[in-house]
Amino acid sequence: MKLPRSEAEAYRLLLLTIGYFALIVAASWVNRWLGLAVFIVLTLGVLWRSFGRRDEPPPTRHVEHRSTEGERRILVIANETVQGGALREAIAQKSAGHRAHVLVVTPALNSPLRHWASDEDGARANAELRQAASLRALERLGVEARGEIGDADPLQALDDACRSFGPDEIVISTHPEGRSHWLETNVVERARARFDVPITHVVVDLAAETEQVRDPD
């Protein structure tokens, strides 16, 4: 079950939960068998809403391009890997030969407990620090880029950025398989199914990059 992304969604979830139990209790007061029947129907409805629609492919979203002639708009989304050298090199290569506009979106990921407590300041601050370091590194490579902190859900962050930025292509950066939550939840495949622009997947192994820096050979 996906966690709510905002206070409004959390409030709606709370109201639905209260209503769920209130209907069951009210029906049980009338007749215990009626209460059981209401419980079964409501529970099946919740399960269908939570799991039954997951196999349905999401509708493809048309991304309105906002680039002018000779311009290339590149939307990059990365969290911890935003500081990876492999990602910077990929961005630099895609920017070469174009009047490139690069937007780097870093989702402010948070723990479920802090999310429910609406304590997102720490997650946002950490994301801003990582992103600022990445933008400075891109500037040293001659790439002009700006950054935004996005929604904790990477697909929602992409959707928001596509609406405002209008990219010609998207770059998604993840950890290697086995260490990437985004790969475990099929973020790259789901993004390719949702957005009608080319999507490049860049794998950044921060541990390997650190070893390379330490090893002079």
Q: Angle, to 10 degrees, between the axis of helix 121-140 and the axis of helix 85-95?
A: 50
The predicted structure's pLDDT at residue 78? 93
Q: What are the tens digits of pLDDT across the range 25-57?
A: 887 888 888 878 878 887 877 777 665 554 455
Q: What is the pTM of this model?
A: 0.68
Give the DSSP letter of residue 109: -
Domain coordinates in residue numbering, the chain: 7-52, 71-214
Q: pLDDT digits over 53-104, tens only?
A: 544 555 777 788 787 888 999 999 999 888 899 999 999 999 998 899 999 9
Is residue 75 within a helix (H) or strand (E), and if so which, with residue range?
strand 71-77
The three-point CA angle 149-150-153 to 5° equals 145
**What radius of gyration do the chain's Cα atoms show?**
22
Residue 145: CA atoms inside 13 Å, Cβ hemisphere, count? 30
pLDDT of residue 98: 87
Return the CATH superfamily for domain 71-214. HUPs (3.40.50.620)
pLDDT at 147 (0 to 100): 95
- Pair of tokens at residue 122: 């720490």
